[in-house]
Structure 1
Amino acid sequence: MLEIPILYEWLGFVVRWVHVITAIAWIGSSFYFIALDLGLNREGDFGGADGEEWQVHGGGFYHVRKYLVAPNEMPEHLTWFKWESYSTWLSGFALLMLVYWAGAELYLVDAQKSNMLIWQGISLSAAVLTIGWLVYDFLCKSPLAKHPTVLMVLLFCLLVTMGYGLNQVFTGRAVMLHLGAFTATIMTANVFFIIMPNQRVVVDDLQNGRVPDAKYGKIAKLRSTHNNYLTLPVIFLMLSNHYPLAFATEYNWLIAALVFLMGVTIRHFFNEMHARKGMLWWTWLVTVVLFIVIMWLSSAGPIQTPLEEAELEMPVAAQKFAEAEGFQEVSDIVLGRCSMCHAREPSWDGIHRAPKGIYLETQGEIAMNARAIYVQAGLSDAMPPANVSWMEDEERAAIVAWYAAH
């Protein structure tokens, strides 16, 4: 019979795997169609089409045409691009529930910042995705839709405000994750609520012999453009939980804001290049400057809770592990084999920040990270890396026995 921690780890792996695969499919198709649209040859008569493109790939030639509204007749074979987006969001939402809702006391609510209860933190998490989309959708349907640049600036301000607000109650990892989840929700909701319904209206008009209204295509194009510029920041935020300098510093919310700007500058370079408007090299200069500022911010201000304060905290969920038989022995093992790296001031050469922002300097922190210690150093020998601190088999067995005793 498999233990719950083992099932939990493998379930998390499978869901994350699906999430990455579907994200690759969605982002890949999105990048392709944006590049295709911008690079269309529009000089000449294409039989009512807006433009065409000849491409070669995989030993064959492809002839692609784009119609601004729709062709004169409904084609027999029509491929819809939607499931990549839906599958990415659904798998990401499942991962959010699995990691940040089920493990809310460890990964979601930061007890050092707020007295927010777990159920309140989960409710806030869900509200961020829902209310955030409603606000964004309202802005897009307002007269601001005629001023896309102003609309994007307001969206950026919304993201910055959200990041700062969440950082008052959530852990750094959760702040980054929720900014990414909110952005991904906007992108998928654009597909589900706006782009696909508008395309269905056009298809229905064609099937019933009506002339499709061009406004539906324009609305969908605006949302597609937003999705295009938001893609790169979402990828960064997906990866951010592996890098403490991104999420476990005082100005993590500001780092996230600058990452959004970097995404805009990078995408603008490629969009202009694909549109054959030249190479805007200045965008890379701006990107480099933004990245330098990010690196500086990651080391500015206090980067963690002082050890004196951390010693006073013992989360309720960690009590059972702290009271389990063998905890004192395991604490000594972890302090001797792991805490030289997982410390506020690591003593191991080459380690400047605790890996993944996990500290193992107090009994409370050891109890709070019980499952991770059990999986990483008990069931497997993933930690310490290459067993550089020489953890013995007997010590790993002690960790397993302690976890089983809780």
Structure 2
Amino acid sequence: MYDLAAIGAWLEFAVRWVHVITAIAWIGSSFYFIALDLGLHRDRNLASGADGEEWQVHGGGFYHIQKYLVAPAQMPGDLIWFKWESYATWLSGFAMLFLVYYLGAEFYLIDPGVADLAPWQAILISLISLAGGWLAYDAICKSKFGDDNTRLMIFLYVILVALSYFYTSVFSGRAALIHLGAFTATIMSANVFFIIIPNQKIVVEDLKAGRKPDPKYGKIAKQRSTHNNYLTLPVLFMMLSNHYPLAFASEYNWIIASLVFLMGVTIRHYFNTIHARKGNPRWTWLATAVLFVIIMWLSTAPMFRAEEPEEASGAALRYAQADHFDEVTDIVMGRCSMCHAAEPAWDGLLWPPKGVRLETPNQIARNAHAIYLQAGLGHAMPPANLSFIEPEERQLIMAWYKAAND
């Protein structure tokens, strides 16, 4: 029978690949259309009645693009919709959340040093926060308060700061930042699914019926599209953060996350201003650099949270009680802990890779799955086999893991 852990790892890899592919397609089209809309020449009296036009060159050809403020006089027969990129990105992202953080809740979602939750409790908090967050956001946007877009975006930032603190108070640092990204991505994709596309369909139906479309639907869709535009870069940072303990393992990870949203605003403001031909706000790069330096400082002051509890629980206890655990502990201590320690002994390392520490039996039991895949079934660890782990030791790691799962 094929190794179930290997199947799971490849399934995760496949879903992650799909997620990256669809995210590239969604973000690429989103950035293109925002730049196109901002760059349109609207000072020309076009015979077609369009609101603006632009000429572009790409791939050896010239493109003449026109945008209608509400809709053209007649419904075109070959209209292309940009929506599946958004839906596929969210679905594949949620699949990743399920495979990594729900199925592996005891290892990746829960940190007993932060909140001693049962897996079902942590998963329920995750689901409620994602769904409830969208409902609250949507209600605020539709309220009178949401009529002023500047006021609305400032208030939404305050909510994101509060949510950053909440997530880091209930989940592991890694899971907290991932959830903040998932929360933001849920809002973005729901904007497309529940607001932007339905509003566009209303306009299409009006055209088919010979009615003049109401411009309010385009205005509402434009507001949500603008929100998506400014949220995209922070989401990318959050999704990449799980590879960098300096981002998620700091005591001030919630402040780091909050500042990342500001960096997203400054970077997008620069490009949006350039595309709209309204100047060259170079100050945004200085502001972004200052914010990033602050983040760097926060990440190392101090480096990590307090020590985790030494009591093993749940799945970790199963691995700690399995055959060969003592021998595997000796192997890991001898071959891995010089790097995977609070203060690594290996020259040039200032923190443990990926934030993984393997200095105690509990830490080894909690990271059993990763140890098995990286140093047992696979030979990724130690890198270049710098600590000279023997084939027999890798076999023992695999025997320990399988004994715990028999």
- Scaled by the length of structure 1, the TM-score of the pair is 0.98
Q: Are 1:127 and 2:103 counterparts?
A: no
User: Partners of 1:393 and 1:57 in 2: how far apart?
Assistant: 54
Deviation per residue, 1:54-77 (Å, 9 max, x gap): 111111111110001000000111
Which residue is 1:207 aligned to? 208
**Secondary structure in 1 aligned to 2:170?**
coil
Which residue is 1:31 aligned to? 31
* Cα offset, 1:4, TM superposition: 1.2
* Cα offset, 1:304, TM superposition: 3.0
User: Partners of 2:296 and 2:190 in 1: how far apart?
Assistant: 33
User: Partners of 2:378 and 2:89 in 1: how far apart?
Assistant: 30
Preserved contact between residue 243 and residue 354 of structure 2 (Cα < 8 Å): yes
The 5-angstrom pairing of residues 72-91 of structure 1 reads 72-91=73-92
Which residue is 2:153 aligned to? 152
User: Partners of 1:404 and 1:236 in 2: how far apart?
Assistant: 36
Which residue is 1:363 aligned to? 361
User: Partners of 2:168 and 2:369 in 1: how far apart?
Assistant: 25
Which residue is 1:337 aligned to? 335
The 5-angstrom pairing of residues 286-305 of structure 1 reads 286-301=287-302, 303-305=304-306
Q: Are 1:117 and 2:118 counterparts?
A: yes
Which residue is 1:92 aligned to? 93
Preserved contact between residue 246 and residue 303 of structure 2 (Cα < 8 Å): no
User: Partners of 1:93 and 1:343 in 2: how far apart?
Assistant: 32
Which residue is 2:45 aligned to? 45
Q: What is the aligned length? A: 403
**Secondary structure in 1 aligned to 2:346?**
coil
Letter in 2 for 1:22: T
* Cα offset, 1:395, TM superposition: 1.0
Deviation per residue, 1:285-329 (Å, 9 max, x gap): 1101100110011011351333xx54x221221122111111111
User: Partners of 1:148 and 1:212 in 2: how far apart?
Assistant: 23
Letter in 2 for 1:337: R
Say which is worse superposed, 320-329 or 69-78, in terms of deviation. Answer: 320-329
* Cα offset, 1:147, TM superposition: 1.1
Preserved contact between residue 304 and residue 344 of structure 1 (Cα < 8 Å): no
Q: Are 1:348 and 2:346 counterparts?
A: yes
* Cα offset, 1:353, TM superposition: 1.1
Letter in 2 for 1:179: L
- Residue ranges of structure 2 left out of the alignment (5+ in a row): none
Q: Are 1:167 and 2:165 counterparts?
A: no
User: Partners of 1:84 and 1:70 in 2: how far apart?
Assistant: 23
Which residue is 1:3 aligned to? 3
Return structure 1 stretches of 4+ with deviation > 4 angstroms.
Answer: none
User: Partners of 2:286 and 2:147 in 1: how far apart?
Assistant: 30
User: Partners of 1:356 and 1:237 in 2: how far apart?
Assistant: 15
User: Partners of 1:204 and 1:258 in 2: how far apart?
Assistant: 43
User: Partners of 1:326 and 1:367 in 2: how far apart?
Assistant: 12
User: Partners of 1:303 and 1:366 in 2: how far apart?
Assistant: 18
User: Partners of 2:306 and 2:290 in 1: how far apart?
Assistant: 29
User: Partners of 2:374 and 2:80 in 1: how far apart?
Assistant: 45
Q: Are 1:267 and 2:265 counterparts?
A: no
Preserved contact between residue 89 and residue 184 of structure 1 (Cα < 8 Å): yes
Which residue is 2:219 aligned to? 218
Which residue is 1:389 aligned to? 387
- Residue ranges of structure 1 left out of the alignment (5+ in a row): none
Letter in 1 for 2:366: M
Which residue is 2:68 aligned to? 67
Preserved contact between residue 374 and residue 381 of structure 2 (Cα < 8 Å): yes
Deviation per residue, 1:213-241 (Å, 9 max, x gap): 00000000000000000000001011000
User: Partners of 1:109 and 1:318 in 2: how far apart?
Assistant: 12
Deviation per residue, 1:331-389 (Å, 9 max, x gap): 00000110111111111111111111111111111111111111100111100011111
**Secondary structure in 2 aligned to 1:212?**
coil
User: Partners of 2:228 and 2:31 in 1: how far apart?
Assistant: 10
Letter in 1 for 2:346: W
**Secondary structure in 2 aligned to 1:230?**
helix
Preserved contact between residue 247 and residue 253 of structure 2 (Cα < 8 Å): yes
Which residue is 2:234 aligned to? 233
Say which is worse superposed, 74-83 or 353-362, in terms of deviation. Answer: 353-362
Deviation per residue, 1:1-45 (Å, 9 max, x gap): 211101110000000000000000000000000000000111211
Say which is worse superposed, 341-350 or 88-97, in terms of deviation. Answer: 341-350
* Cα offset, 1:144, TM superposition: 2.3
Letter in 2 for 1:157: V
Instruction: State the percentage of identical aligned residues.
Output: 65
User: Partners of 1:116 and 1:393 in 2: how far apart?
Assistant: 38
Preserved contact between residue 272 and residue 278 of structure 1 (Cα < 8 Å): yes
Preserved contact between residue 341 and residue 348 of structure 1 (Cα < 8 Å): yes
User: Partners of 2:340 and 2:380 in 1: how far apart?
Assistant: 14
Which residue is 2:323 aligned to? 325
User: Partners of 1:402 and 1:118 in 2: how far apart?
Assistant: 24
Say which is worse superposed, 347-356 or 91-100, in terms of deviation. Answer: 347-356
Which residue is 2:372 aligned to? 374
Preserved contact between residue 167 and residue 175 of structure 1 (Cα < 8 Å): yes
Letter in 2 for 1:329: E
